[in-house]
Amino acid sequence: MSRATLAAARIAAIYALCSLLWIIFSDRLLPEVQTEKGAIFVSLTALLIFALVRATLLRREAAERHLAWISRIIDRSPVVTIAWDNAPGWPVRFVNDTIRQWGYAPQDLLTGKLHFADLMHPDDLERINAEVARHFAHGPDEYTQEYRIKTAAGAWIWLSDRTWLERDVSGKVTGIFGILQDISDTKAALLDLAASQSRLETLINTIPDLVWLKDPQGVFVTCNAQVERLYGAPKAAIIGKTDYDFVAPELADAFRANDRKAIASGGPCVNEEWLTFADTGYRGLFETIKTPVRDARGELLGVLGVARDITQLRAAQEALRSLNVELEQRVRERTQALEALNRELESFSYSVSHDLKAPLRSIDGYSQLLEEDYKDKLAGDGLLFLANIRKGVAQMQELIEDLLAYSRMERRPLANAPLSLPKVVAEALEYQAAALAQAGLEVDVRVPDLTVQADRDGLALVLRNLLENAIKFSPAAQPPLIHIEAWPAPGRVVLAVRDHGIGFDMKYHDRIFKIFQRLHRAEEYPGTGIGLAIAARAMQRMGGSIRAESSPGAGATFYLELPA
């Protein structure tokens, strides 16, 4: 029976009861006023009916206002509220205005122009129908489903349908009510999360390190394939277990102690642990980093562990340590050998300087006496032989002096310091002034105020040798000029010495800086072939370099590069 019928029946019952009471008691209470009783009855019943009808209408008005409020709330809700009849095609008997967000008007569904089932994705329809049939037959009457529907624009969206069923006293379903919410963004986020988790799982399963996560009680939450190898069990069998389920109690105690140490420290805790793999029996030393994991509120979620095999690394470190010890011993032995060699070299230099030069001085002295005292008695060849003896002695003395200079260059301590380049060049030119004048050569100097880091004596020796070379190989230079110029470069200074002498072929470039290497006969250009070797060695020891550019008959340019 409907509520309207019940309300009408209640009014009729009240009216009948009042009329009956009036009939019974009016004659007793008002016997003298028979005529007026009818008017009084009509008036009273009219008032009664007014009160009853007014109360009913007020309740109805209040209910309608309440229903209007609910309707406005439902229409402004972000979810779609819908009710279906339990009939073929599931005809819609109510749907709120929110369905317009999917491009459909409520009237399209209420009039049957559209059937809700026609909007569902074909791949979901069979599953949904089967689930609904199961709930109709066995319950429960409240359930949630997820499926896709097509919007008016043609896009597919995912819905969460929270449904409840209305049944009559016999248990038959008389109505179906649903609250539909668009969960497409949530679905997309879940898919992204699943893809991210898949990528992360692939990553941690690919790396050779062991990776796992335990909860605060030491129970495994997840792990990678390397942990499966360690414990000889699949991931599903490890999750939910502890170390005590797989290793000896004393080893599990050590693992758990390290977990607690990481939790207590509040940060990464590094340990070294010996692990034996169940699948192969391999035993190795692993460096384990255990880090407490906390949520945004700081609550402890568990301990993340990463273990890397350092067995070979440790063996390599031990081998390197042993090698270093051996190398240090070799260095000591080599240093001792070099010190001994230097002492021998010093002894050799002393011998050359004193023992070898003494006989040469005797030869030179006696040959000079022969020349002075017996010049008239010696014929032409005798004088020539005597001159050659004296010339050979002079060359031998020059060679000895150059050898001693080269030896001193190897052994002398360097004192690199900031030097004024123009000043060093001027001193070198002053030293060679007489030789330059005798050779008829002028010098064009273009050296700006630059500072170099060099050893004063070493740089002076290099410049003297270069000037001697320029003088020696420019006997008929045209023009009779030597150029000296310098310029700065990034982190260094370049000094160039150029002449207009005989030059040389560049294929002999490296040869001219080696000891005893000559490109010309001593009879043509005197010298020992050591000067440029001394210059090259001096530049190397000062942290600089020397190179040359030349061609036969076009002079030569020597470039010195020195630290700025």
List pLDDT tens digits, range 107-136. 988 888 888 888 999 999 999 989 999 999
Q: How far is 234 from 226, CA to CA, in rounded Å?
A: 10
Q: How far is 155 from 536, CA to CA, in rounded Å?
A: 82
CATH number for the domain whose boundaries are 77-182: 3.30.450.20
Does the pLDDT value for residue 500 go beyond 80? yes
246-272 average pLDDT score: 91
For the ranges 177-186, 243-252, 355-364, 531-540, the lowest mean pLDDT is seen at 355-364
Nearest Cα residue to 422 out of 455, 447, 459, 454: 447
Residue 212, beta-bridge partner list: 223, 305
249-277 average pLDDT score: 91
Please confirm whether the linkage preceding 488 is cis (ω < 30° from 0).
no
Q: Domain 189-309 is of which CATH architecture?
A: 2-Layer Sandwich (3.30)
Task: Give the residue with greater pLDDT, 512 vs 260.
Answer: 260
Q: How far is CA 218 from CA 12, 65, 130, 531, in A?
A: 76, 60, 44, 79
454-469 average pLDDT score: 87
Strands 92-95 and 80-85 come out as antiparallel
State how far Cα 101 lies from the chain centre: 45
At 403, is the pLDDT very low, low, confident or very high (cuts 50, 70, 90)?
low
Q: How far is 117 from 508, CA to CA, in rounded Å?
A: 96
User: What is this structure's pTM?
Assistant: 0.40
Strands 481-489 and 442-446 come out as parallel
Q: How far is 511 from 436, CA to CA, in rounded Å?
A: 27
CATH 3.10.20.600, applies to 415-563 = no
Phi, psi values for residue 208, rounded to 5° = -75, -10
Q: How far is CA 365 from CA 73, 357, 359, 371, in A?
A: 132, 12, 10, 10
Instruction: Read off the DSSP letter of residue 186.
Output: H
Q: List, as one string, the DSSP characters of 42-62.
A: HHHHHHHHHHHHHHHHHHHHH
Residue type, 517: Q
CB neighbours (10 Å) of residue 127? Answer: 14
Q: List, as one string, the DSSP characters of 378-446.
A: S-HHHHHHHHHHHHHHHHHHHHHHHHHHHHHHHHSPP--EEEEHHHHHHHHHHHTHHHHHHHT-EEEEE
Q: List, as one string, the DSSP characters of 272-328.
A: EEEEE-TTT--EEEEEEEEEEEE-TT--EEEEEEEEEE-HHHHHHHHHHHHHHHHHH
Does the pLDDT value for residue 233 go beyond 80? yes
At 424, is the pLDDT very low, low, confident or very high (cuts 50, 70, 90)?
very high
DSSP run (H or E) holding 551: none
Q: How far is 152 from 131, CA to CA, in rounded Å?
A: 26
- Mean pLDDT, the chain, rounded, equals 82
Q: How far is 230 from 282, CA to CA, in rounded Å?
A: 9
pLDDT, residue 74, reads: 59
Whether the CB-CB separation of 7 and 56 falls below 8 Å is answered with yes
Does the pLDDT value for residue 521 go beyond 60? no
- Establish whether domains 77-182 and 189-309 are of one fold: yes
Please compute, for residue 27, the number of CA atoms within 13 A of its CA located in the half-sphere on the CB side. Answer: 3
Q: How far is 515 from 125, CA to CA, in rounded Å?
A: 97
Which residue in this structure is represented by tokens 């049957």? 112
Domain ranges of the chain: 3-74, 77-182, 189-309, 315-393, 415-563
Q: How far is 515 from 294, CA to CA, in rounded Å?
A: 73
List pLDDT tens digits, range 12-66. 677 667 666 766 666 666 555 555 656 566 666 667 666 767 776 677 777 666 6
Q: How far is 230 from 98, CA to CA, in rounded Å?
A: 57
